[in-house]
Amino acid sequence: MSMKPAAGHSQDHHGGYAQQASVKGDWLVKLPGSISTRDAMAIGTAGFTAMLSVLALEHSGINPERGDILVTGASGGVGSVSIAILAELRYRVTASSGKSVEADYLKSLGASEVMDRALLSEDGPPLGADRWAGAVDAVGGKTLVNILSQTKYRGAVTTCGFVGGMELPASILPFILRGITLCGIDSVNAPQSLREVAWKRLATDLDLRKLGSMVSEVGLNEVRGVAENMLQGKVRGRTLVDVNR
């Protein structure tokens, strides 16, 4: 079973750093047979969010023939899983990352190109050269502003993070001159029907071998250190916690 992120463990409910937790039955989603419970924990909220982002792009009519898809925060959990899913669906993916050492890793997940995130963090024109048919943005702030200015006519951009800032000092021009769509991704209160669709699609559209290459495993007593490294941008992909060690 997969658990709904709305459980809010260690935020609203006890059990976030425990070996067992008591939860409401309607927080659970039955896993497709091809996904093990270990796979489900490796996918986690980040992978679930990535799948919701891909579904939102599809809902906006963005298919592989429309052009390149940009993924920001590419070496993180949402970014890594997004790249793997999009590549499996035959999209051409450009990965944006501040870690040049991760280029080979990102290409192994399916990225066709890796670009320096600095190119998206500088001030740019309100309406730039159109580059992206769609984007999965996990950064926010000025990065998201620049993505919007570079999105093609009737393109779509999903947003799910704000490590780059919560402000959006953007121009309205991309919306009214190019008709683009900005899709907010909420993994916490997603309805049951959408969660079921997302997990079914994860079973068919995520290469579990690629998922395995993203995962590092730690014990429960190592979680604090991992969290500190994550805040410093030192964590790649997904971290699986073995609660029994």
- What are the tens digits of pLDDT across the range 16-40? 677 887 878 888 899 999 999 999 9
Residue 234 CB: number of other CB atoms within 10 A? 10
Reported as a single tens digit per residue, the pLDDT across 33-75 is 999 999 999 999 999 999 999 999 999 999 999 999 999 999 9
Count the Cβ atoms, other than its own, within 10 Å of residue 227: 11
Tell me the whole-structure pTM to 2 decimals: 0.93
Contact between 84 and 109 (Cβ < 8 Å): yes
